[in-house]
Amino acid sequence: MSTQTDNYNKMQERLMQASALLNVIHGGGIENFEESSSRIKDCYLWACCSLVEEAMELSSNLKLDLTPSEKSD
Protein backbone atom coordinates (compact mmCIF):
# COMPACT_ATOMS: atom_id res chain seq x y z
CA MET A 1 0.00 0.00 0.00
CA SER A 2 1.28 3.45 -0.89
CA THR A 3 1.96 5.93 1.84
CA GLN A 4 1.15 9.63 1.68
CA THR A 5 4.83 10.33 1.09
CA ASP A 6 4.94 7.79 -1.76
CA ASN A 7 1.88 9.38 -3.40
CA TYR A 8 3.33 12.86 -3.01
CA ASN A 9 6.69 11.81 -4.48
CA LYS A 10 5.00 10.06 -7.43
CA MET A 11 2.84 13.14 -8.04
CA GLN A 12 5.94 15.35 -8.03
CA GLU A 13 7.72 12.99 -10.45
CA ARG A 14 4.80 12.99 -12.89
CA LEU A 15 4.54 16.78 -12.80
CA MET A 16 8.29 17.15 -13.41
CA GLN A 17 8.09 14.69 -16.32
CA ALA A 18 5.15 16.54 -17.87
CA SER A 19 6.94 19.85 -17.40
CA ALA A 20 10.06 18.51 -19.11
CA LEU A 21 8.02 17.20 -22.05
CA LEU A 22 6.16 20.48 -22.47
CA ASN A 23 9.36 22.53 -22.18
CA VAL A 24 10.75 20.66 -25.20
CA ILE A 25 8.04 22.13 -27.43
CA HIS A 26 7.76 25.50 -25.70
CA GLY A 27 9.28 28.43 -27.52
CA GLY A 28 11.78 27.58 -30.25
CA GLY A 29 11.14 23.86 -30.09
CA ILE A 30 7.61 24.12 -31.44
CA GLU A 31 8.85 24.01 -35.04
CA ASN A 32 10.29 20.51 -34.58
CA PHE A 33 7.05 19.40 -32.98
CA GLU A 34 4.95 20.85 -35.80
CA GLU A 35 7.12 19.07 -38.38
CA SER A 36 6.58 15.71 -36.68
CA SER A 37 4.08 13.23 -38.01
CA SER A 38 0.53 13.30 -36.73
CA ARG A 39 1.12 9.99 -34.94
CA ILE A 40 4.19 11.30 -33.08
CA LYS A 41 2.39 14.51 -32.09
CA ASP A 42 -0.62 12.53 -30.90
CA CYS A 43 1.53 10.13 -28.84
CA TYR A 44 3.56 13.01 -27.40
CA LEU A 45 0.50 14.93 -26.28
CA TRP A 46 -1.11 11.72 -24.99
CA ALA A 47 2.00 11.14 -22.84
CA CYS A 48 1.77 14.69 -21.45
CA CYS A 49 -1.92 14.28 -20.71
CA SER A 50 -1.41 10.88 -19.05
CA LEU A 51 1.27 12.27 -16.74
CA VAL A 52 -0.89 15.19 -15.65
CA GLU A 53 -3.95 12.96 -15.17
CA GLU A 54 -1.92 10.58 -13.01
CA ALA A 55 -0.59 13.50 -10.95
CA MET A 56 -4.16 14.77 -10.48
CA GLU A 57 -5.27 11.31 -9.34
CA LEU A 58 -2.36 11.04 -6.94
CA SER A 59 -3.09 14.50 -5.54
CA SER A 60 -6.72 13.59 -4.91
CA ASN A 61 -5.54 10.64 -2.81
CA LEU A 62 -3.42 12.83 -0.56
CA LYS A 63 -4.86 13.62 2.81
CA LEU A 64 -3.53 17.05 3.70
CA ASP A 65 -3.86 18.84 6.97
CA LEU A 66 -5.09 22.21 5.79
CA THR A 67 -5.99 23.56 9.21
CA PRO A 68 -4.08 26.68 10.26
CA SER A 69 -1.27 25.94 12.66
CA GLU A 70 -1.77 27.16 16.18
CA LYS A 71 0.69 29.71 17.44
CA SER A 72 2.23 28.96 20.79
CA ASP A 73 2.51 31.96 23.06
pLDDT digits (tens, 9 = 90+) for 15-58: 999 999 999 888 767 888 899 999 999 999 999 999 999 999 99
User: Is 68's pLDDT higher than 80?
Assistant: no
Domain assignment present for 67: no
Residue 13 sits in which domain range? Answer: 4-60
3-class DSSP string for 23-40? HHHCHHHHHHHHHCCHHH
> How confident is the model at residue 61, as a pLDDT?
85
The amino acid occupying position 23 is: N
Report the predicted TM-score, pTM, of the whole model to 2 decimal places.
Answer: 0.76
Domain count, the chain: 1
Domain assignment present for 50: yes
Domain assignment present for 34: yes
